[in-house]
Amino acid sequence: GESVGLHLPTLSVQEGDNSIINCAYSNSASDYFIWYKQESGKGPQFIIDIRSNMDKRQGQRVTVLLNKTVKHLSLQIAATQPGDSAVYFCADRPQGTYKYIFGTGTRLKVLA
Amino acid sequence: DTGVSQNPRHKITKRGQNVTFRCDPISEHNRLYWYRQTLGQGPEFLTYFQNEAQLEKSRLLSDRFSAERPKGSFSTLEIQRTEQGDSAMYLCASSLDILPLHFGNGTRLTVT
């Protein structure tokens, strides 16, 4: 069935270090992927997206990598800051649908 | 940009009562989604609309759940005869065509 999972439920990093959050997806027909950040009491906030015809996309301090061969997605955050502390979700959209499937999430804790 | 607005933010109801939530999407967005999120989990897809047409419903959406988007603008999600298992955060999101979803801050439902 369709599922998007994450390898690590909690990730702790030192302020200033780089963070890498991983995600595995199961639907090889998915053609669009998004990373969201969710802070306590708020809805998910869009961070960055990538289409299946790309393997890397960069934003401000964030980079998403897509490996379709092993159905793996990662989010890299450079120079992690205290404000980056949140739960991060990856989501995929199976080709031909407009439904987004979310994973369980990884909690990122930034240590001062 | 006023963002996606959801009301109420919190709702406490007794088992067996009916509840209705409202979502006002970003004004030019033609797609509107409802998701449900329980503690420690990622959002689960419930249903989505393109304009006023409800195009897909999840198997999670029992007969007690109904969603409408009568004029292709705001949407309502009604839960009839609430059960304790309905306690969750109900998230609304909107998008313009195939662009990323923008989420509201949700309605937290507690069924006692």
Residue B18 has a pLDDT of 98
Stretch B38-60: mean pLDDT: 92
Residue A2 has a pLDDT of 39
Residue B96 has a pLDDT of 92
CA distance B44 to B21: 17
Residue B43 has a pLDDT of 95
Q: Among A10, A30, A34, A99, pick the best mutation site for testing chain B contact (most B Cβ within 10 A).
A: A99
Q: Which residues of chain B make contact with A105, given a CB cutoff of 8 A?
A: 40-42
Interacting residues of A63 by C-beta distance below 8 A, sequence separation 6+ = A48, A56, A57, A75, A76, A78
DSSP per-residue string spanning B21-63: EEEE--TT--EEEEEEE-TTS--EEEEEEETTEEEEE-TT--T
Q: Do A45 and B43 touch (CB under 8 A)?
A: no
Q: Do B4 and A49 touch (CB under 8 A)?
A: no
Which tens digits make up the pLDDT trace of B3-24?
999 999 999 999 999 999 999 9
Q: Among A25, A30, A35, A38, pick the best mutation site for testing chain B contact (most B Cβ within 10 A).
A: A38
Instruction: Please state the φ and ψ torsions of residue B58, each to the nearest 5 degrees.
Output: -75, 155
Residue A1 has a pLDDT of 36
Residue A6 has a pLDDT of 45
Which tens digits make up the pLDDT trace of A37-90?
999 989 999 999 999 999 999 999 999 999 999 999 999 999 999 999 999 999
pLDDT surpassing 80 at residue B60:
no
DSSP per-residue string spanning B75-105: EEEEESS--GGG-EEEEEEEESTTSPPEE--
Residue A108 has a pLDDT of 96
